[in-house]
Structure 1
Amino acid sequence: MLGNQDAVYGLPEDLAREVQDECFFPDGLLCDLRRYQEWGVKYILHQGKVLLGDEMGLGKTVQAIATMVSLKNTGATHFVVLCPASVIINWCREIQKFSKLRVIKVHGSGRNAALQEWIRSGGVAVTTYETTSYFDLPDSFRYTLLIVDEAHYIKNPEARRSMNTKRLSSHADRLLFMTGTALENKVEEMTNLIDILQPRIAREVKGMEMLSSAPQFREKVAPVYYRRKREDVLTELPELLENEEWCSLGFEERLEYEESVLSSGNNFNAVRRVSWNVNDLSKSSKATRMLEIIEEAKAEGRKVIIFSFYLDVIEKISELLGSQCTEPINGSVTPNRRQEIIDDFDNAPAGKVLISQIIAGGTGLNIQSASVVIFCEPQLKPSIENQAIARAYRMGQARNVLVYRLLCENTIDERITEMLAEKQAIFNAFADKSVAADNVEVDVKSLGNIIKEEIDRINRTRKNTGDER
């Protein structure tokens, strides 16, 4: 027997029995799955073409990676991940972190060569919606699994990216669409996605829009649409989840960053504003990712705190978000006014954003009404970040807290993050945690060395490409 309802995570019993008996082969997966995540992988493997709609923070990405690992262990060689450009670096890093799968990024100027390499050698091709126009496969070519992240991007069947995705999916034996957006209240969007996955079920639920919350509707879509919410897996969920969100600099961002490095002298602060120092935040990869996280948080009834060390970054974000955010908290805001801002934030609807300078708002405030925390840049001392997280992650917090660190690859962000991790590991080995918390930091000398390395790297790259300005 399967036991109580919790054990089947909301699936009809007959389907749950089949999912329970599905084989999962994790050899080569470099992390442990929670019980509900392994159950999700078995569901994906058993059903073949599905839409996974788990709430944000439940680990859809790692379930997708585990699915690919299991399929590889049974002979599969070729996989495709299709995602928004803002998360392509994250996908590449997560696959490398959690598995031994080979990753090939099919994006940018080298996309054609990368695609041919993937066709020849296999692995996971990670590409973007924009790149699907160039993702041409031989008519007879088949691959095992297409993973479509943020699948609500293709909700309109007439859109070019939807048609490109459908064309790409015609070569795949299996399909995994993923979205954290609840589709129960958007039945037409759900049906459009299901129509690509399992057209028979799409036909059966058409006309049932008014019954979308009824048990018979949920049972109809259970073979293709699976969503768990936090309360469904509460006993298995850690209270604090920390994520590194890696971004890739666009052309203008890179120019700004390189100039700030080369002209930094002793002004390290200009360099640390990587991605935020463009004049137009629509060209900031960090700002783009931040907006996506805020939108997802709003859809799930969450509120957000954003921390930055820099006042001008806070002001830019405030201008970008407009009425969606509070008045910023900085060092010039009086204690009484701070509390008024927090009270207003507590009473605001989901999706509201509180912005604060980390030094001003990172200590002494209680902000339990927020459950998503975003850091705009890595802090030089992790204890500062920990104190800021504790504003939301404390007694009285009703939800698990999701922390997102916005980072840019091939920049000072990467070296600071690496150095802090190295120092943390040393202190963890030789000192108790309370001592480590106060002593792990990137000091001025280390920061200077990092910037010298960056200057050398940038000059080397420019010399190799003939771009010495």
Structure 2
Amino acid sequence: MLLQFKHADRASGKKLKADSPTLLILPTSLLGNWQREIEKFAPGLKFQIWHRSMLNAKAMKSIAADPQKTLADVDVVATTYGLVRREKWLAEMKWRLVILDEAQAIKNAGAAQTKSIKAIPCAGRIALTGTPVENHLGDLWSLFDFCLPGLLGTPAQFKKFVKAEDAKELSQRLTSLRKLIQPYVLRRMKTDPRIISDLPEKTEMRVDCGLTTTQASLYQTITDELAKALEDSEGIQRRGMVLAALMQLKQICNHPALYLKQSEFEPKQSAKFSELASICETLIEKQEKVLVFSQFQSMCHPLSDFLAETFGRSGLVLTGNTSTKKRSRMIDEFQQPNGPPFMVISVKAGGTGLNLTQASHVVHFDRWWNPAVEDQATDRAFRIGQKRNVIVHKFVCRGTLEERIDDMIRAKKQISEELFDSEGQIQLTEMTNDQLMKFISLDLEKASAN
């Protein structure tokens, strides 16, 4: 499309000063990927990245001081969500188009980042996302408020429209909503043979893990302490207490050392490590690669150390502390056929945008609350360019809140499928004390079963 704009300008003998260039806003982790893709598929476009990882401070100041002059011959300017909020010059220049990649970044309509992006003047707007509804249908309203303000009414009107206690009435309303937005949505599924005819299959499996004695003891202690504390707490204090306990229980399910903030992660202290070793032994025989995702950044290096010992080779670790330049080098290294056999990735840092098709196995070492986030992470391997079938291993500790999270995720995937195959949102902090304790309680018989 951008190439067509450029060719049309040349054919007409003029360039639209007020509407050029196009502004591309994306996560930092995708800067290098976009640069490579444009060089490969659209080398005729002049592409400028405005970010400290690609420009020195002097060059960035020069562009910000006089963007109309310094960007006169540029077709696309790429920058990040974080910079848009801080750099006023981006909102003072009128752009031809504003394009958002991973547009779910503006799902929170009240966030300062979202407001800054929506204030940028332009002739047209495009939102690119694989998860238009990440948490609840309010996310969809914010995306359309960016692309087509007013189409879905005010936030209050939209919330009232999509809120119906009767399942049949909700289904009818969502069908109407789908018809309303359909002309403005171009949806492409990589599993559609019309898009790509030779994409391999994806198999998802739940890997049930037990708890070691240490894990079970710590888990029970946390639930007992929470049950007592809930009796005398309410409001914000109660919510904070519940969230903290949920996080601690998830840490214990991964490894006692994660919860206890210890430096030594003894594999025998976590049943998940044993299951991971079993999977990797098969991969060694087949000479296949694996991606291991965890929501805990502090879990990534211990996992990498364990996998390096298992494979007999070192691998790669990508977290929020990994610089943009290093990310690009790591991706290139992993994508080499003889490259590292594994990459451990923190979900928030590397769950989107990365192309890691050399891996044919994906392990979710712990479960995210949101299935859309997990699916995005899985799609680092299951994407166009993948030549082998992809197997996804989702670790779940039996008899714990992880098992109930898994049940919750399955239920969320069934909500609003008539709209986008999306999901709803369940607020655990709003459960009653009895509901919450039932959700997190330890079923010792299941947890200790071999």
TM-score range, shorter chain: 0.3 to 0.5
Greater relative contact order (Cα < 8 A, sep 6+)? 2
- Normalised by the length of structure 1, the TM-score is 0.43
- Normalised by the length of structure 2, the TM-score is 0.45
